[in-house]
Structure 1
Amino acid sequence: MSKYDNPTFSIKLLHPAYWGVWFGFGLLAFIVNILPLALLLPLGRSLGQMAMPFAKSRVKVAKRNLELAFPDMPQHEIERIVLENFKNTGFALFETGITWFWPTWRLKRHIKVHNAEPIIECAKQKKGVLVCHPHALNLEVSARAFAILGYPGHGVYRPHSNPAYNLIQYWGRTHNGNKVIDRKNLKEMIRTLKTGERLFYLGDHDYGRKKAVFVPFFAVKEACTVTGANILARATDCAIIPMTGYRDSDRKWELYFDDPIHENFPKDDVEAGATYMNKAIEKAILRKLEQWMWLHKRFKTPKDENQAKGLLYK
């Protein structure tokens, strides 16, 4: 048995210790299937706004991220974006439920696609694609929508410590042909790309110093940035296609594919590669600034190892 085996159902998961997880996801499935999207959206956004007084530390993080990324942005605009970001975070709970529990026909009605030709051409050529997507709050929807188009991919994930939660998470993320890969299983990521499949790559968070460099990200000149794209591109000679998934004003989820960037990607220079990737990610985030995960401490790791983590958030 491999340490990377996918989770399977066991009678042990019916133990009372897991009843709360089963009930919580059962309730979420019921709510998203019984209520129309026109009601789910304002309900979720209201929940996000109501959570702000109880999540003051995250409000502070979101504001600080925006101040660092956009130093010339007026304070009133920062306040507006933070409020919208929390509202969208509240709805993201329902978006997860929608992704995991909606039937395909229902979700398909709410998807719009732009510039999918590069993905289609790579599929015809059986060329692996590193699909670069930012940590948008509706990421779960984007991943399944991508599969509904007929081009399922492999998502990199961290297994949950609660086995019942982990099983539900695995089941929810593997609809329509999508698969998941443990984030530590680099060998499987390389195999996926070499065999002409698609791998979702989220390189826009601060994951610490390991396999990272310090390059510009928005206005921050030395942002800790992972070098996974270089590692995978060198090992597989895959295509690299940035993708943005966001929700528009018509309650549709839009998938927007940028043109491939692998021909000019400096895969043999990790700093240049990370800088190049950050530029592509910035473009994707700016399409819907309020729908990116600003609540994450994007700039927590300082370049100077003698400095404490999170110093910019003090």
Structure 2
Amino acid sequence: MDRPRFKRSFLHPRHWPLWLGLGLLWLLVQLPYSVLLLLGRALGWLMFVFMVERRRVAEINLQLCFADWTEQRRAQLLRENFASNGIALFETAMAWWWPRKRLQKLAQIDGLEHLQRAAAEGQGVVLMSLHFTTLEIGAALLGQRATIDGMYREHRNPVFDWVQRRGRERHNADALAIEREDVRAMLRSLRRGRAIWYAPDQDYGRKASVFVPLFGVPAATVTATSTFARLGKARVVPFTQCRLPGGKGYHLHIHPALEDFPGPDETADALRINAFVEQAISAHPEQYMWVHRRFKTRPEGESRPYAKRKRRRRRR
């Protein structure tokens, strides 16, 4: 995709409320990091109180994945998770607008040699990531040290889309944004020896998925990771990041490439992926995006655990 360009239509009055909100966020994010963490936790509390539907989704996910935990323990995790979601808003703004040098001071990176070795050998990499609340800032911090392309879904609002893409791509002038549905472009990039950020830990429906356990619960798990690795002749390199306690920044961990992957059986591959997902989530469960409907697609005859979404009426 071409680099995002500013358009005069972005200045139309209908976009002024968004510009005002983005401007306020830009001003807030100039505050010290310790203050932003506090503001994020306060925002997370408001989200916990008012985002009832999302809170219920997270509650159900925690009940399914940590059935052996006490209700009190899950309730505490839920509150911490919403605090993490609130902090994520400011982390996103930091990733988009902080000066690079200020941002770099927060990063601790292990395993960069796995990406460097693949790049030196001209080997494509599926950088297998997870939907943690820290994913935006994690990608930005890694993008300052390595060329990482990303799967991209265009936002409906053109102004927000421009701001988002500009913020994401500023850390690496050579990075590419690839449409999520453009599989051919992704495979071409992998065959050219590029690394592409990809997260297989969400429910993308029954098509091209297999049911394998995730925390003991059958979960529709995409087989695309195996397909990309096989057709793109690429290595699968897991990547995780976490927010460190005490305002010490972020730890980014690039793991060794999965051995003998993909295998002859896509279901076995999906089992390996979910085993890694479980391990990564268990290390920092409060920082995972539990508000997503991970178990919405069910095996035949099994009911969905979530309530139906309330559809908004379209204005005529």
Shorter-normalised TM-score: what interval?
A: over 0.9
Q: What displacement does 1:217 show? A: 1.0
- From the superposition, tell whether residues 197 and 266 of structure 1 become closer, same or farther in structure 2 (CA, over 3 Å): closer
CA distance in 2, matches of 1:180, 1:281: 25
| Alignment map for 1:267-278 (pairs within 5 Å) | 267-278=263-274
Q: What displacement does 1:233 show? A: 0.9
Q: What displacement does 1:6 show? A: 5.0
CA distance in 2, matches of 1:244, 1:110: 15
Report if aligned partners of 1:48, 1:90 keep a CA contact under 8 Å in 2: yes
The aligned counterpart of 2:262 is 266
Given candidates 97, 118, 122, the residue that maps to 1:122 is 118
CA distance in 2, matches of 1:233, 1:268: 12
Report if aligned partners of 2:229, 2:262 keep a CA contact under 8 Å in 1: no
The aligned counterpart of 1:50 is 46
The aligned counterpart of 1:141 is 137
CA distance in 2, matches of 1:152, 1:45: 32
**Alignment partner of 1:205 is 2:198:** no
Report if aligned partners of 1:300, 1:312 keep a CA contact under 8 Å in 2: yes
The aligned counterpart of 1:21 is 18
**RMSD after superposition:** 1.5
**Alignment partner of 1:242 is 2:238:** yes
The aligned counterpart of 1:313 is 306
Report if aligned partners of 1:225, 1:274 keep a CA contact under 8 Å in 2: yes
Deviations 1:175-232 (A, max 9, x none): 2213321101111111111111110110101111121111111120x20111110110
2:42 match: secondary structure: helix
- The number of equivalent residue pairs is 304
Q: What displacement does 1:45 show? A: 0.8
Q: Which moved more, 1:59-68 or 1:265-274?
A: 265-274
**Structure 2: gaps (5+ residues):** 308-316
The aligned counterpart of 1:81 is 77
Which residue type is aligned with residue 313 of structure 1? Answer: Y
CA distance in 2, matches of 1:210, 1:19: 40
| Alignment map for 1:1-314 (pairs within 5 Å) | 5-33=2-30, 35-149=31-145, 151-177=146-172, 178-220=175-217, 222-251=218-247, 252-261=249-258, 263-304=259-300, 311-314=304-307
Runs of 4+ deviating beyond 6 Å = none
CA distance in 2, matches of 1:238, 1:266: 10
CA distance in 2, matches of 1:158, 1:135: 15
- From the superposition, tell whether residues 223 and 78 of structure 1 become closer, same or farther in structure 2 (CA, over 3 Å): same
TM (normalized to structure 1)? Answer: 0.93
CA distance in 1, matches of 2:16, 2:224: 38
TM (normalized to structure 2)? Answer: 0.92
Deviations 1:251-306 (A, max 9, x none): 21110122210x322344221111111112222222211000011111011121x6
Which residue type is aligned with residue 123 of structure 1? Answer: A
Q: What displacement does 1:124 show? A: 1.6
Report if aligned partners of 1:214, 1:224 keep a CA contact under 8 Å in 2: yes
CA distance in 2, matches of 1:182, 1:276: 26
CA distance in 1, matches of 2:296, 2:117: 39
2:171 match: secondary structure: helix
Q: Percent identity among equivalent residues? A: 37
Report if aligned partners of 1:242, 1:281 keep a CA contact under 8 Å in 2: no
Deviations 1:137-182 (A, max 9, x none): 0100011111112x12111121101111111111011122133211
1:27 match: secondary structure: helix
1:94 match: secondary structure: helix
